[in-house]
Structure 1
């Protein structure tokens, strides 16, 4: 129990304590922790220069022992009234600060780990053929994205331009099929040596925490360019992340088993202590809930994704971000992209104002939020990731 007066069902209670980077007025960006309607200024409270760097990277690089020690101290500061006088001056109203990019992204990898999403797209684009490619149940499929265009929530989404097919011929045009992908992201805190692999069991030793991701997608650019090497300009123009990173220990009560497998996995992907997570996402388009994707059904866990992306000896760096891929459930109102929700534009959504959407239009705003169960019976909030569509430049 904290001595702070927290709003009921805050989502940012003592069981959560997510990390972010914020600035207040003209002050330099620094590390904070969300608690209720406040941000705890760690730079001011601790005097540790690692929290005044404007990024979580230097702190994340200290490793799990440092992460655990600081979390224990924060819990003590916020629960023991003996610390109240010292801590209170470093609590700032969350609505008075500006949230910044929480970490410097080293590399960015996006996976394709929802069976429902993969089968939905397979049926759309390969009718009459098996919806899954032969490799899908054997390994986590992914692609390397562009780390330089990963940005914090609220960054404007400028409609991308590129080559699209028009009447069977390529033309240069703004994307007409701009889409969302509701995803969950995992942030690596500790590097690994080149030439080594991170085992599934070692996932908590390398991953600092979890955030939300919207991997904006220009479906018409993507459809023309992706053969034979996969996504490129249709994805690389912007990826948005939430400003808060929920530490792994906060999600202990949200862990669930992974779904049953179609066939035995190769040993390096075997997971005896699975990191499935009971996270429920919510997707809003112009304020209207259009989907509630359940993350707990993802076929490949984040631990398996990490093991696969390093099994060839690829090195991890502090700040590496790897995302789940679109989260989709079995029902239509659980699908995490418009290409699924509208069946590639053939069944448009009708919004409360009477407008219809097949894909995103200029001025549209998308918000993705998520919660998970906490050990104390409350719900943990991941905050949200938002973006508003602007016309092509």
Structure 2
């Protein structure tokens, strides 16, 4: 019979050394890892879904406001208003502004967008704005996360199916679980060299739908800006699939052309006046072939903004809102002296104007009435950003510069 094994003093010492090393390694990982600089506080109970407002109120007054410098337009998700300020994403009760949940990192936000009833928060690291966290809108619970190479800064947008993270040299498309479906442009360490259709291009603007992604880019050797129409979810996410790519008939390498919107397989692009050709909204089909052209203002703002609203797209040009039919981008009605693209509420369309909201009948474009709204100032008079807006139930939210303002019936 074998004698029982006995631990020697050397065995005990070795075990202690191993334990200490494990503790030290865990401490280093904690101190240097992302978890050490993260604070996540969930809501006690999920927020109930908001019910659509049955009608536009006769009056609106400010109910609350909060700082939100990481959002370009109001973010609502899961029945909650979400703000992004500094390093913190906060879910708030839409009626009272009460703090329901928050998520904080030890670095400032790159951006925040609402999609799939979640808030998608993007933070920077050494590779750009590429650390992404998805937060359930009603509770603040962390869902999917991802990290990748990215530009700094990036612009975030969503089309109902995908989120687009757009920079001046690189862009990515993410689906609802934050899996990347496409990378386009600069690739630092390509797995398969040469799969990108062009290199060294500057990306100027982009928009997406569930079936098409359109990007304007300025590429070496091209006489003018180039429009490329892509599959937002090709078979291989590192290998873009182009349906068409053309150099547009506008003068200069950096003409003020802009992708306005993509709907289905159609793309609407604003082309400024050039060489005697008047400004136009040009519509391209799914292969990047021009299918229609409509007259457009020649003095469009560099901060031109588009909002998707049901059966039409509202395009803020810098001084007016032009409705574009979503099926083919045919222009409809126009609202003059607008401060932003507006939003739907209670079966009407509300456009911010100086000191008020213009209530528009969406069928005819007729102004039904004006609701007085007290604002600190006209943002455009001081060179500020346009006012963007979103409704959540019977609360109307306005993004005014770096603040989110909630308006309710007075």
- State TM-score, norm by structure 2: 0.18
| Structure with higher RCO (Cα < 8 A, 6+ apart) | 1
- State TM-score, norm by structure 1: 0.19
Greater per-residue helix proportion: 1
